[in-house]
C-alpha cells in the first residue's frame, strides 16, 4: 500500500526530482538548512511561518499544504494553541474555511480552549472575516448551549448578525432563534440587539412585533440614560453601545411611528413624530450628537409630510418631493408611499415618477444598502414599490407597464422568499391576466414555479440603524 502523503514526504520528493540541495532550498525559502533537515527527518514540527515559506519556495500557491497540516498537527497530534492560532488567522486570510472547520472540530472536547476560540472569533468579526468568525461562534454556541453565560449570548448575537441575509423565511427563523438570548447580553448590548431585531422584523413587515421591540428598546434605553445622567450631572463614562444612548430613545419612537404608519394609524404616528422631534431633554452637545439631532429634525419634517399625504392632504406632495430630492436614501421609501397614496386617492403622479426614473431603475439591484437602510429593507421596499406601481399602471389601463412591474415585484419576492409578496403578485396578475402578453405569461409561470421550488425546500421607518 502506498503510504499517505505528508508535508515532509512532499518536500523530500520535491528536492529529489528538482535536484536541489537542502542548503540551496534554504536560500530560496528563507528557512534555515538545519531546520529543514530536522523537518524532513521528522525530528521537528513545522511552524506556521516555516510552512508558508516552504510552500512559496516550492512554487506552490498559498495554503497548498494546509489540509495536510491540519491532519498532521491537529488531528494526529494534540492541538497546540501557539501553533493553532496563527494557522486559524492564515486560513481566515486565505478563505480556507474547510481547514478552520476541521481544525476546531478537534478542539470541541476540550472546554479550556473555548475562551481563546471566542476571542479569536471576536477578532475575526472586528476585522470583517465574518465567515471564519461564524465557524468559531458556532463552536462556542454548541459547546455552551446548556450554559447561561454572557459569552454564549454574545456568540448567538454575532451569529444572528452574520447570518441575516435576503431570504426572508430564513431571517424569520434566525430572529426567533436569537431573541431568547437578548436578556443574557450586557445592558448596553441589549439595546443594539433590540434595535437589530426590530430592523429584521420591519423588513418582514411584522409591525406588531416591531412595535413591541421598539417599546422595550425605548424603556431600557431611558433607564440607562437616566442612570448615567442621574441628578443632571454629565457623567464622563464610556457607554458600550454602537450609538449615543439618547439615539436609542429617539429610534424607538421612530420605529413606533413606522409601525403605526404601516397599520394606517396616522394620527398616532404623528404623536410619535412629536416625541422624537422634541430633543430638549438631550444633554449631549458634541458634534456627533448635534448631527444626530439635526437628522431627526429632518426625519420629523419629512414624516409629517408623509403622514399628511397618507391622510389625504395631497397639497403637501410638492413639498414632500422637494424635500426628499436632496436626501438620496429617503427616495425609495418615499416613492413607495407616494404611489400608495396615488392609488388610494386616485392621484396622477406621472411627473413625480418621471423625476425619479433613474432612481427607480437603480433600485432593481436589491443586493445594495442605501445609506443607513439595510439590504433587507431595500429589497422589501423595492418589491413593494413595484407592486404599488403595478396597481397604479394597471388601474390606469397602461397594461404593458403594469405587467412589467408585477413581474419585477414577483421576481424580487421569489428572490427574497417573501410568501406575502408572491401571493400579492399572483393575485394581481390573475386579475389582469387577459392583458398579459405571451412572453409575460411565460415569465410569470417560470417565476411561480421557482417560488414553489423554494418552498418545497423549506423546512418546516424611515431610517435604519445598522
Q: Cell numbers at residue 170, please?
A: 430564513
Alpha carbons 294 and 275: distance in angstroms, whole number: 15
Q: How many CB atoms lie within 10 A of CB 42?
A: 10
Q: CB of 301 within 8 A of CB of 323?
A: yes
Alpha carbons 383 and 371: distance in angstroms, whole number: 18
Give Cβ neighbours of residue 280 (< 8 Å, ≥ 6 apart).
Answer: none
What is the helix, strand, coil percentage profile of the chain, to 5? 75, 0, 25
Q: CB of 212 within 8 A of CB of 179?
A: no
Q: CB of 456 within 8 A of CB of 416?
A: no
pLDDT along the chain (466 residues), means of 10: 72 92 92 90 84 94 92 75 89 94 81 89 96 95 84 96 90 95 94 96 94 98 87 56 93 97 94 96 92 93 94 94 88 93 94 93 70 72 94 95 95 89 93 94 92 54 48
CA neighbours closer than 13 Å in the CB half-sphere of residue 121 = 28
Which residues are paired to 370 by β-bridges? 373
Q: Which of 21, 172, 7 is nearest to 87 (CA)?
A: 7
In eight-state DSSP terms, residue 50 is H
Task: Kindly list the distances between the CA atom of residue 73 and the CA atoms of 48, 68, 69, 362, in Å, as whole numbers in the listed order.
Answer: 10, 8, 6, 51
Q: How many CB atoms lie within 10 A of CB 223?
A: 11
Note the pLDDT of residue 232.
Answer: 54
The label of the residue with cell 462556542 reads 140
Note the pLDDT of residue 45.
Answer: 81
- Model's pTM, two decimal places? 0.84
| Helices 187-203 and 168-178, packing angle to 10 deg | 150
In eight-state DSSP terms, residue 166 is S
Alpha helices in 95-182 (DSSP H): 97-105, 114-126, 130-143, 150-163, 168-178
Note the pLDDT of residue 465.
Answer: 53
Q: How many CB atoms lie within 10 A of CB 221?
A: 25
Residue count of the chain, please give it: 466
Would you call 124 helix, strand, or coil by DSSP?
helix
Note the pLDDT of residue 75.
Answer: 73
Would you call 128 helix, strand, or coil by DSSP?
coil
Note the pLDDT of residue 378.
Answer: 81
Question: For the residues of 205-259, what is the DSSP string, one character each?
Answer: T-HHHHHHHHHHHHHHHHHHHHHHTGGG--------SSS-HHHHHHHHHHHHHHH
Task: Kindly list the distances between the CA atom of residue 178 and the CA atoms of 65, 149, 460, in Å, as whole numbers in the listed order.
Answer: 38, 14, 18
Q: Cell numbers at residue 47, please?
A: 511552524
Note the pLDDT of residue 330.
Answer: 85
Note the pLDDT of residue 462.
Answer: 45
Q: Cell numbers at residue 30, please?
A: 528563507
Give Cβ neighbours of residue 141 (< 8 Å, ≥ 6 apart).
Answer: 152, 155, 156, 159
Note the pLDDT of residue 276.
Answer: 97
Amino acid at each position: 500500500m502506498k503510504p499517505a502523503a505528508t508535508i515532509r514526504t512532499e518536500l523530500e520528493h520535491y528536492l529529489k526530482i528538482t535536484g536541489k540541495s537542502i542548503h540551496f532550498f534554504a536560500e530560496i525559502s528563507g528557512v534555515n538548512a538545519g531546520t529543514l533537515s530536522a523537518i524532513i527527518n521528522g525530528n521537528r514540527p513545522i511552524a506556521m511561518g516555516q510552512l508558508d515559506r516552504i510552500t512559496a519556495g516550492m512554487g506552490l500557491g498559498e495554503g497548498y499544504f494546509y489540509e495536510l497540516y491540519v491532519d498532521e498537527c491537529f488531528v494526529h497530534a494534540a492541538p497546540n494553541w501557539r501553533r493553532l492560532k496563527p494557522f486559524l488567522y492564515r486560513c481566515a486570510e486565505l478563505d480556507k474555511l474547510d481547514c478552520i472547520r476541521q481544525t476546531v472540530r478537534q478542539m470541541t472536547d476540550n472546554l479550556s480552549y473555548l475562551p481563546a476560540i471566542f476571542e479569536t472569533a471576536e477578532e475575526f468579526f472586528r476585522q470583517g472575516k465574518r465567515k471564519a468568525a461564524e465557524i468559531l461562534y458556532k463552536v462556542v454556541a454548541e459547546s455552551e448551549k446548556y450554559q447561561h453565560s454572557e459569552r454564549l449570548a454574545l456568540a448567538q448575537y454575532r451569529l444572528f448578525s452574520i447570518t441575516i441575509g435576503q431570504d426572508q423565511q430564513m431571517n424569520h427563523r434566525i430572529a426567533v432563534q436569537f431573541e431568547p438570548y437578548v436578556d443574557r447580553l450586557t445592558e448596553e448590548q441589549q439595546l443594539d440587539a433590540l434595535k437589530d431585531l426590530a430592523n429584521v422584523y420591519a423588513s418582514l413587515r411584522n409591525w406588531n412585533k416591531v412595535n413591541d421591540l421598539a417599546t422595550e428598546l425605548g424603556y431600557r434605553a431611558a433607564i440607562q440614560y437616566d442612570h448615567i445622567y442621574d441628578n443632571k450631572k454629565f457623567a464622563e463614562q464610556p457607554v458600550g453601545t454602537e450609538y449615543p444612548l439618547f439615539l436609542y430613545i429617539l429610534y424607538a419612537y421612530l420605529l413606533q411611528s413606522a409601525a403605526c404608519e404601516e397599520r394606517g394609524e396616522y394620527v398616532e404616528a404623528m404623536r410619535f413624530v412629536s416625541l422624537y422631534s422634541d430633543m430638549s431633554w438631550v444633554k449631549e452637545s458634541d458634534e456627533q450628537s448635534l448631527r444626530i439631532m439635526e437628522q431627526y429634525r429632518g426625519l420629523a419634517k419629512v414624516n409629517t409630510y408623509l403622514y399628511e399625504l397618507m391622510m389625504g392632504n395631497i397639497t403637501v406632495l410638492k413639498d414632500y418631493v422637494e424635500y426628499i430630492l436632496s436626501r438620496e436614501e429617503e427616495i425609495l421609501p418615499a416613492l413607495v408611499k407616494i404611489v400608495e397614496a396615488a392609488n388610494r386617492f386616485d392621484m396622477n403622479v406621472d411627473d413625480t415618477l418621471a423625476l425619479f426614473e433613474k432612481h427607480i431603475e437603480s433600485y432593481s439591484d436589491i443586493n445594495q444598502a442605501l445609506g443607513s437602510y439595510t439590504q433587507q429593507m431595500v429589497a422589501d421596499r423595492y418589491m413593494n414599490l413595484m407592486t404599488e406601481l403595478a396597481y397604479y399602471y394597471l388601474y390606469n389601463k397602461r397594461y404593458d407597464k403594469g405587467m412589467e412591474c408585477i413581474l419585477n415585484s414577483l421576481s424580487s419576492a421569489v428572490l427574497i422568499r417573501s410568501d406575502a409578496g408572491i401571493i400579492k403578485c399572483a393575485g394581481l396578475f390573475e386579475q389582469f391576466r387577459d392583458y398579459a402578453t405571451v412572453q409575460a405569461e411565460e415569465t410569470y409561470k417560470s417565476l411561480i414555479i421557482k417560488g414553489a421550488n423554494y418552498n418545497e425546500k423549506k423546512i418546516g421607518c424611515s431610517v435604519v440603524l445598522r
